[in-house]
Copies of this chain bind each other. A is one copy, B any other.
Amino acid sequence: MYTPADSKKGGTMTKIAALALFITTSVFAQNQPPARLVSPEVGADNRVTFRFRDPNAKEVLLTLEGTKPVPMQKDDQGVWALTTDPLQPDFYGYSFTADGVGLIDPYNPLMKPNLLNTQSMVHVPGAGLPWEVGDVPHGKIDHHFYRSGVVGDQRDYYVYTPPAYDPKAKQTYPVLYLLHGFSDDASGWTAVGRANVILDNLIAQGKAQPMIVVMTLGYGAPEIVTAGVGGFSNQELRKRNFDKFTDALLTEVLPQVESSYRVKKDRESRAIAGLSMGGAESLLTGLNHLDQFAWVGAFSSGGISEDFNSQFPTLDSKANSKLRLLWVACGTEDRLIDINRKFREWLKSKDVAHTDIETPGMHTWMVWRRNLADYASLLFHK
């Protein structure tokens, strides 16, 4: 048995069981647990029924990604339920709000991990969509761990390698650095964004070049997220977060990737893109380091202020000879559409060539999975 070196309590493992002895055993604990509910239940018509048992709650709401909270209806067994209209095939995050508290669905193992607001996820399947696992060769995802000298913590990043990738072969690959949003962690683009599935499918269909995708932790100042939801609205903290992120990416993650994978190391073989906070990071890092990146993408970017001149001090039409693609996308129902339109107006005023993308949709993963599929298809062509 292991005992902590600094233990002064002489505790043993069995001590943790002591809890149960000090408090009278509850009546509930001795009863049978209630039967498992089926939730979510996806019907043949793509209507989804959500169920949640909470006999004493006064109100239970369903929040489905991309919609406002809607009340569920309680039956005489204390089960709250709601059936949606037919949903377009996709993956949707959702949560129940019982008397004001957001909760996951206890009978659904499919999760949408998040540092501030873990949710459940429901899959409405649809044939041939880029994020559906196909009977095609699969790449793999490598999970790396390292100590960051820039930030001063232990952190991680993920690397997708395409199906044919062979570390012993001579072939080298271009690299997309793909960045998550505020409150996600480094697993966001695979666990929720399904980036590996999307790339597998696009590569199998000949729609995307085989590439390596690096998904790293997007916090240069991690206190921005441990400080809670308000952290991102602190402008000074946000700037430190962006600056240190760029530093960690360019001086730690990128060199590690380039020394341990068979990658092309010229700027025309490096892309950077991300969603929301990661979109801002892609613009700030990419457009201020055109010596290192030729392909830049921003999906619903958020966190850049309107003073674009001070954030991109050297950007002007000379960038056009270096930028192979500057792709700026946002959903028209996203609250960030205004700042994205202003940013594109500013790019235009500076004669910086870019691709304007406006799609239906809000600030959701349904938009970003499609963004990735579209953007990845455009990368690394000669």
A–B Cβ pairs within 8 angstroms, 14 of them? A2-B130, A4-B129, A5-B127, A11-B88, A12-B360, A13-B359, A16-B87, A16-B366, A19-B85, A26-B59, A33-B102, A36-B229, A57-B57, A138-B144
Quote the shortest CB–CB distance from A122 to chain B (angstroms).
12
Tell me if A266 is interfacial: C-beta within 8 Å of chain B. no
Q: Are A14 and B361 in contact (CB under 8 A)?
A: yes
Tell me if A255 is interfacial: C-beta within 8 Å of chain B. no
Tell me if A128 is interfacial: C-beta within 8 Å of chain B. yes
Quote the shortest CB–CB distance from A207 to chain B (angstroms).
12
Tell me if A42 is interfacial: C-beta within 8 Å of chain B. no
Tell me if A68 is interfacial: C-beta within 8 Å of chain B. yes
Chain B residues near A103 (CB, 8 Å)?
103-104, 106
Q: Are A23 and B70 in contact (CB under 8 A)?
A: yes
Tell me if A234 is interfacial: C-beta within 8 Å of chain B. no
New A-B pairs, 18, CB < 8 Å, besides A111-B111, A168-B168: A2-B129, A6-B127, A7-B126, A11-B86, A17-B333, A20-B70, A25-B68, A25-B69, A25-B70, A26-B61, A28-B69, A29-B69, A33-B100, A56-B58, A57-B57, A103-B106, A109-B116, A138-B146
Q: Are B88 and A15 in contact (CB under 8 A)?
A: yes
Contact of A135 among B4, B26, B56, B147 (CB under 8 A): B147
Q: A4-B89, A87-B16, A168-B168 are in contact. Are A46 and B9 (CB under 8 A)?
A: yes
Q: A18-B85, A26-B71, A143-B142 are in contact. Are A118 and B111 (CB under 8 A)?
A: yes
Majority DSSP secondary structure for residues of A touching B: loop
Tell me if A67 is interfacial: C-beta within 8 Å of chain B. yes
Tell me if A373 is interfacial: C-beta within 8 Å of chain B. yes
Contact of A4 among B6, B92, B111, B126 (CB under 8 A): B126
Q: A20-B68, A33-B100, A103-B103 are in contact. Are A61 and B28 (CB under 8 A)?
A: yes
Quote the shortest CB–CB distance from A50 to chain B (angstroms).
11
Chain B residues near A16 (CB, 8 Å)?
64, 66-67, 84-85, 87-88, 92, 366
Chain B residues near A2 (CB, 8 Å)?
129-130, 370, 373
